[in-house]
Amino acid sequence: LKIVSNDLDCAIAHRSIGECLMNLERFEEAVPEIEAYRTLSEKIGNEYQLQLAYHVMGSLYFRWADVENILQTPIIRRDYILKAYKAFETSLRLCQTTKDVSNMTIRTAAVHLQLGLVQMDLKEFKNAVEHFEAVIQLQPTDTEAVRLAIAQLIDVHCKLGCFRTALKYALQLMSTDQSKSNRNNILDSLVTCGHVYVDLEDFKNATTMFKKALKVKCSNGALKRSCKKWLREVTKLEELFDKCNAMGQNTDEKFALFEQMADTYADALSSGEYKHYTLAIKYYKEMLNSAIMLGKNPYLCYVSIARTYEDMEDYDKAVEYLKLVTEYEKENPSEQGQTLLSIAVLTEKINSSFHDVNDAYNAASIVAEKSVDNNLLSNVYHDWFFYLKANRNAVDFNCEQFEQVAKRWDGLEAFYNDQVDNPSEMEVEDDSADSSKSESHSSNELERSQSQNRRKKQPGKPKTNLLGETDLHVACIKNKLNTVHSLLKKGHPVNVFDNAGWTPLHEAANRGFTSLIQILIENGADVNIRGCQQLTAAMDAAVNGHLDTVLLLLNQGADVNLLDEQGLSLLHYLCDWERDNKDELQSDCETQATFNRVKSKVLEMMDADLAKEQLKMRNRLKRKRRLNDQATEDISKNDGKFIKDEKCVSFGVDEEEEINFDQPGGGKKAYLSALKSVGSRANRVKMTSVVDQEQATTSSAAYVGLVTEDEFKIAETFFVDDNDEPIEMHESRRQCFPAADRRLKNNNSRIAATNRKFHKESAWDVKKENDNNATKNEEQSIACKFDQRLTELDSEDGESSVEESDDNEFIQATESTPTPCESVIYMKINVDGWNCAVPISKEDHSKDVKWLTEEIATRYAVRHYHKPILILCTEDGAELCETDSIQVVISAKLKLQCRIVDWNEVPTADTYKQLCESVNMPVCDVIVEALCSADESGKLVCDNYSLADVTAPYVFESILFSKLTVLDLSCNTLSKECMVELGNVLICMSNLISLSLSCCSLTSDHLNFLARTLEEHNLKNLHHLDLSFNMLGDGCAVSLMQLLCRCPKLRSLDLRGVGLTNNFQILPQQNWPKLALDSLNLQYNAIDERVINFFLTMSSAVKKLQLCCQLNNTQRSVESCFPTLSNFELMTNLQLTNVNLGFCFGQFVEMLPKLKSLCSLDVSLNKLSVENFTTLLDVMVKLCPALVSVDFDGNDPNAFEQEPFRIALQLALFQKQKSIQFLRLTTGRLHLQSANYEEMIQMWRLRWNKRSVVQKLHSQLTLTTF
């Protein structure tokens, strides 16, 4: 811009600057640049540049709107959307009138595509259709723009209810994708087509599409996992649909079927971008009609319909049904007040008049005052106050009313906790009170009141799965930080128990998720709450060796004097773990030091007499619940007991309820807890139920080699996901389980519609239409061609065409003539504590044990990411011969288990060669050499290997399931597709400790692709992550945080030179991952104190911090960080280079003694004065005993002429408690030649003898010991 002279080049320079700023998401700075580009283009009369200027301006505002969507400011976002629409509209008009016809077709299509997307956002669906159809007419059919337009047309027509038209475009999309051979696109189009068939309630074709999708081999593992779930739900829906049609009249059973179908459409099938809310509404209304015909209370139906309309963002209809809900809640002010508050909020969302919204809030406040519920009152007055405050200019605004509301809000602010639809404990008490009062009512009124209370108590006590786990339990088990944040923000109870007696805090402590533990404690988790067998969270962490977790719990107030039911304390469990891991502690000095620190703290906090007693105890109790531990106990001796009492069907455990195994129901809870071992979530808890011998015999019989029906009900998700094909849920299924005890009932029906929250994702509005025979013929023709192409793609993967053909014939047979379910059984085998179910068909009975062992090993590899070599044996240890027939094993009803004797490790270099040969691609010798070295050292270094999109996937696939500990991909230009491939590989690398992506040309989009690929999977052992010298930019906040959330054990993070500035987006604090970083490097970023404090606050215990704010040297940047830095007592290394430290030196000296563990300090290039250095040396001697390494490079050379400096330096070198071992100073040659300094240096060398080195280079003096 400084060099060019003519207006055209200047305009293009402004556009380039604006686009760069837009890519960095610095939109405010980009706007004037694009405006300058537009003005200059208009000035010189260049129509092409002017049209492009409006197009770029529209893109800028459209992307800005997406950022505002993340920040949840819808009003500003809509304003940006309208500005984008206006700019694109002008750009389209210029395309139609310009005389410059170069690339006019492509330019016009691009504008139409953007206008269609904007119209979709504005919900102008019919206008959007016109723009997308224009794209298809203007562009060639094989372009990416056409594919995107077709995909959007499918979405638009589904929203308009034109499902046949949507299906036509879906089949066209399939045809387009198969011509390009892009497997990810093929998978996406198959899934899309499957969901359109679901909209049409064509379950057979939907099932076919999902099955075909599972056969496509691609890198999108997350979508394939979702596809398994959808396939399972569609199969259930088909069964429910057939049952419903077979019933001729309204019955209670048909009412329940309508509810199950509606719930499936609303929840299980409406995940991600695919929504089926209209079908859910259809069946909820059928449920309502059935309730009216049967004389049932329609309250539940109204609630479900209202919440579903709310999910669809059809707020008018949601309000209409919520008003019907309030008619049934007149006896319960708490519930009615909550519903009226929802009406007020929705009335505000539909932009109703000020008068209507104000009246809605007023009505909610009147009812809430009657409830005497402070939580509800605080929610009502909070929303009302801020609505009035934002609408002070309204015509009907009443200042007196505003003052009254503000005063009432001030008194209730202490009770406000931002809960949504979550009644407090007082509300539950009110429910019980109302129920007791209603005993005097008539029987009809009593039944209605009890129905109300059952329905509305659900939000107070969260719903659980059959293991008694709430959503918070599951989120803590899977280390989902964002989900935990969301649940706690909505008021989910934190101290809640599952069937085994564990709380979410126990689950997080058991797995060492320190970030989750910090969040739970901040939201009210009791650190001393007792779990199963009276274990505390600290004991649970100590059993599994999570020392950082124990230390965190101790700092948060964990009581070390508590004993479990066997009289054991936390100290006992720590000593137990020490004995079990003695060898590892001797070889790992850092872990040994951490253990000593934890043990010392426990002894310091513990009662002296109790500590002596615990240390003398010899009987060690090993109660590890770690995943995949060996579980050899026979369940018939522990908790596999069925109970006789059919009335006891409670699957949850109240927070204050203690499991009594002598009472009816205790055995069932123990059985459910025992089955937690299925799917490798955790081992069985060692509990014993007191029941008669007959029940024990029945239970033992159910645990022979076959899976029982009751096990299948409880662990159905695992059994389905563990097998290639879903298990059909037919009535004849009970014949598959020869030893099933049917007394354990499945009582997991959905009655929690009130818990369904508003989501912002776009909905798939669905509506059934009549079939069109002509369209069907066209669909079948396209589908047939697609099947043929899909088979060709599978053949390209190197699979046998004969085997593929046989497999296809089997699928066709099952679709046309369903195979009887009794022809397939599921054999359960234990592999070192992990259970898997292997399907055995009639044809498999003739196979041998070797085949069965291979099947088990394959399933183990899919779950645990490395393939074992197994020996199959019976329960008593007798090995089975590989040539034995499976039929013999089945007939004998043996309980089987496998022993892992070795691991099937294939050299990565050989795998890479085979992959290259299979696609006729040249083998890169440099990569082969690196892989050979990696096989020996466990470290793969591909530094500057030019990994392209063609090469990288084969390198990544060759290291799949490998035991690499270090992966260095520095200096390779990785594309977004490569990041997806890399993410799928990282999921399977359980031993990876270090990952380096330095200088890989990564942007925030690359991080986003990587984080989305990892999804719910964590890099469990990753300690070091290097993202340095990539242009991530200020817009990387969300993607970076998502990636860090996937690294629970991250200890070192390198963010040098990643383009961070003062405009870095600081996320709300509840979205920050809580990390336990030892090292954080933020050098070469132009950041201020706000960004520095963000990263410091995000980490709980930084030991090494490196800052070099050379691009933004301000006094305030570092000074304001000192209060935060002073909290890091464990920090050992601090580098503050070129940060203008002299301007805030006093505050720095005050902060320095608080860093009690500081060993190394670098304050070079700060232009410190003589007085500064003298003071710093005095502080080091008197207040910083651990500090032994100091870098003063860049100081004032004249300091050597000052006597106070010489004395301070002499004290630091010779009289400090721990003598200086590294010192670097800037000096002049003349200064060093003085007798005083020569003598001082000589004495220092004599003190360290041969272990010292003195370097005098130019004007620099360095003293080092080794």
Residues 816-851 have pLDDT tens digits of 333 333 467 778 888 877 778 788 887 787 888 888
Residue 962 forms part of a structural domain: no
* pLDDT value, residue 776: 44
**CATH number for position 62:** 1.25.40.10
Within 8 A by CB and 6+ apart from 1221, the residues are 1188, 1189, 1264, 1265
Structure tokens at 347: 């009335």
Kindly tell me if the per-residue pLDDT of 388 is higher than 70.
Answer: yes
What average pLDDT does range 446-457 have in this prediction? 36
**CATH number for position 843:** 3.10.20
What average pLDDT does range 340-355 have in this prediction? 87
Residue 1119 forms part of a structural domain: yes
CA 946/CA 930 separation, integer angstroms: 13
* pLDDT value, residue 597: 86
Kindly tell me if the per-residue pLDDT of 60 is higher than 80.
Answer: yes
- Please spell the DSSP secondary structure of 726-743, one letter per residue: PPP--GGGGGG-TT--TT
* pLDDT value, residue 635: 30
Kindly tell me if the per-residue pLDDT of 1229 is higher than 90.
Answer: no
Counted domains in the chain: 4
Structure tokens at 370: 């009657």
Residue 1244 forms part of a structural domain: yes
Kindly tell me if the per-residue pLDDT of 611 is higher than 90.
Answer: no
Which of the residue ranges 100-109, 442-451, 544-553, 1035-1044 would you say has the lowest mean pLDDT? Answer: 442-451
* pLDDT value, residue 619: 39
Residue 941 forms part of a structural domain: no
Residue 659 forms part of a structural domain: no
CA 933/CA 966 separation, integer angstroms: 12
Chain segment 1026-1073, per-residue pLDDT in tens: 998 888 888 888 888 888 888 888 888 988 888 888 777 776 655 566
Nearest Cα to Cα of residue 116 among 94, 92, 142: 92
Which of the residue ranges 611-620, 941-950, 1040-1049, 1139-1148 would you say has the lowest mean pLDDT? Answer: 611-620
* pLDDT value, residue 550: 92
Kindly tell me if the per-residue pLDDT of 693 is higher than 80.
Answer: no
Final residue before a domain boundary, out of 553, 582, 611 = 582
What average pLDDT does range 761-783 have in this prediction? 38
Task: For 661-674, give the secondary structure using H, E and C.
Answer: CCCCCHHHHHHHHH
Chain segment 251-261, per-residue pLDDT in tens: 888 888 888 89
State CA 1154 to chain mean position distance.
36
Highest mean pLDDT among 5-9, 404-408, 488-492: 404-408
* pLDDT value, residue 1198: 66
* pLDDT value, residue 809: 30
Pick the more confident residue, 527 or 67: 527
CA 1058/CA 1033 separation, integer angstroms: 6
Final residue before a domain boundary, out of 541, 565, 582 = 582
Chain segment 962-1008, per-residue pLDDT in tens: 778 899 988 888 888 888 888 888 887 878 899 999 888 898 888 88
* pLDDT value, residue 362: 92
Pick the more confident residue, 787 or 117: 117
Residue 246 forms part of a structural domain: no
CA 1228/CA 1260 separation, integer angstroms: 8
CA 602/CA 683 separation, integer angstroms: 28
pLDDT-derived band of residue 1201, with 50, 70 and 90 as boundaries?
Answer: low
- % of the chain at pLDDT higher than 90: 8
CA dihedral 254, 259, 260, 262 (to 10 degrees): 120
Q: Are 471 and 494 in contact (CB under 8 A)?
A: no
Within 8 A by CB and 6+ apart from 818, the residues are 728, 730
Q: Where are the beta strands (DSSP E) in 693-833?
A: 824-831
What average pLDDT does range 437-459 have in this prediction? 37
Within 8 A by CB and 6+ apart from 1168, the residues are 1141, 1142, 1145, 1176, 1192, 1195, 1196
Residue with token string 């929504």: 275
SS3 breakdown of the chain: % helix, strand, coil, rounded to 5?
Answer: 60, 5, 35
Give the type of residue at 713: K
Chain segment 501-552, per-residue pLDDT in tens: 889 999 999 888 888 898 899 888 999 999 888 889 999 999 888 898 999 9
Residue 911 forms part of a structural domain: no
Domain that holds residue 1217: 1103-1265
Final residue before a domain boundary, out of 97, 132, 156 = 97
CA distances from 1248 to 1092, 1244, 1263 (A): 39, 7, 11
Report the residue count for the chain: 1266
Residue with token string 């076959």: 706
CA distances from 299 to 360, 440, 451, 805 (A): 21, 22, 9, 53
* pLDDT value, residue 1072: 61
User: 766-793: buried (b, 16+ CB within 10 Å) or exposed (e) per residue?
Assistant: beeeeeeeeeeeebeebbeebeebbeeb
Residue 322 forms part of a structural domain: no
* pLDDT value, residue 930: 87
Chain segment 621-658, per-residue pLDDT in tens: 333 333 333 333 333 333 333 323 333 333 233 333 44
User: Phi and psi for 282 in degrees, rounded to 5?
Assistant: -55, -45
* pLDDT value, residue 340: 92
What average pLDDT does range 55-70 have in this prediction? 78
Q: Look over the chain and give the mean of its residue pLDDT values, rounded to a whole number.
A: 73
The H or E element that residue 1053 is part of is strand 1052-1054
Structure tokens at 606: 């513990």
Nearest Cα to Cα of residue 940 among 873, 995, 1010, 978: 995
